[in-house]
Amino acid sequence: MAEVVFEPRNIVVTGGCGFIGSNFVRWVARNHPEVHVTVLDKLTYAGNPANIAGLPESQVELVVGDICDADLLDEVVPGHDAIVHYAAESHNDNSIADPEPFVQTNVVGTYRLLQAARRYGIRYHHISTDEVYGDLALDEPRRFEPDDPYRPSSPYSSTKASSDLLVRAWARTYGLAATISNCSNNYGPYQHVEKFIPRQVTNILCGIRPKLYGTGENVRDWIHTEDHSRAVWDILTKGRIGETYLIGADGERSNIDVLREILSLMGEPQDAFDWVRDRPGHDRRYAIDPTKLERELGWRPVHTDFAEGLAQTIEWYRTHESWWRPAKEATERRYAEQGQ
């Protein structure tokens, strides 16, 4: 069973201006007003301070900086009781084109944070991905479990696997109070337009035909970002030190089925998209078994109707064009250069 509940009062959230990180910051601000959040974000192309705009300044503070900067961490971390580490380079296509930023941020950056958490004796929670486990066959009944071997297949997932292993080593060797969560594909508001669902949605809104890799049969396990945020909080406050928890919502769907659902919800014909060449080493199927999280911490997903959650997400992008429009042109230009 879970340990005594940990009640943080001052937390550092790295990457808190990114998609999943900002949704977590908003969730904490809404559900735990007694908790102060220091957002540490480098504000790369995927980090947008507008993602946390409107939150109480007395509760949420933004520090612009690099997690690889050890001196900065010595300024920011003291006085906090936990680090929740979301910051990462996370786009597979970008990692294939240039792995260097992924090694720096995902591996070196994690090392710097672990050292800071160790120096100041504070709790550390590490956000990771199901992609570290590689992929499953399309017709395979099993799902990823926490103790499965790591078989990453892209530069991105390899660097995330590396960072996970660093966390495990620091927990065992130095006794760092650390936990890890590996989550399936997130969807919801504030996701950058380079990602699968927002790219398709914003293409349609722009009058551009959506693009689909390969045969579209690749399967992803989808979870609403709000359910992810709730799970992370449960793991941070109730999870067993040194343990890994998998976060999933039984949301397996093929890419082509997701695209067709988007087309249907947006009033477009089912064939109103273009096929593009497949991504090198494209993983076939991800699937998460969240039994450990559910059994130990009592977590359950709330957003279990994917079509409803997708419709709400589409509506968010429809009504927040000023948020995504500035990044759209550069994103599509980059994809075009990659032939995608």
Query: Which pLDDT belongs to residue 337?
Result: 78
Could you give the CA distance from residue 192 to residue 197 in angstroms, rounded to a whole number?
Answer: 9
Task: Give the pLDDT score at 280.
Answer: 81
| CA 161 – CA 140 distance, rounded (Å) | 23
Per-residue tokens: 47: 């980090």
Report strand pairing: 244-247 vs 274-276. unpaired
The pLDDT of residue 201: 98
Domains by residue range for the chain, with CATH:
10-192+223-251+287-303 (3.40.50.720)
Reference 108, options 174, 49, 185, 166; nearest CA is: 166
In angstroms, the CA 335 to CA 279 distance is: 12
d(CA 296, CA 234): 10
Q: Which residues of 37-54 are buried (b: 16+ CB within 10 A; e: fewer)?
A: bbbbbbeeebbbeebbee
The answer to whether residue 156 is catalytic is yes
Q: What is the tens place of the pLDDT at every residue in 56-113?
A: 999 999 999 999 999 999 999 999 999 999 999 987 778 888 999 999 999 999 999 9
For CA atoms 68, 71, 72, 77, the dihedral sign is positive
Catalytic entry in 131, 227, 261, 296? 131
The letter for the amino acid at 159 is: T
Q: How far apart are CA 201 and CA 4, in angstroms?
A: 43
Instruction: Say what the pTM is.
Output: 0.95
Identified catalytic residue from 86, 156, 190, 245: 156
b or e along 119-150 (b: 16 or more beta carbons within 10 Å of the residue's beta carbon)? Answer: eeebbbbbbbbbbbbbbbeeeeeebbebebee
Closest Cα to residue 47, out of 103, 105, 108? Answer: 105
Looking at residue 2, its pLDDT comes to 45
Pairing of strands 252-254, 219-224: antiparallel
Q: Phi and psi for 126 in degrees, rounded to 5? A: -110, 120
Q: Is 150 a catalytic residue?
A: no
Catalytic: which of 130, 135, 227, 283? 130
Q: Residue ranges of the chain with pLDDT lower than 50?
A: 1-2
Whether 131 is catalytic is yes
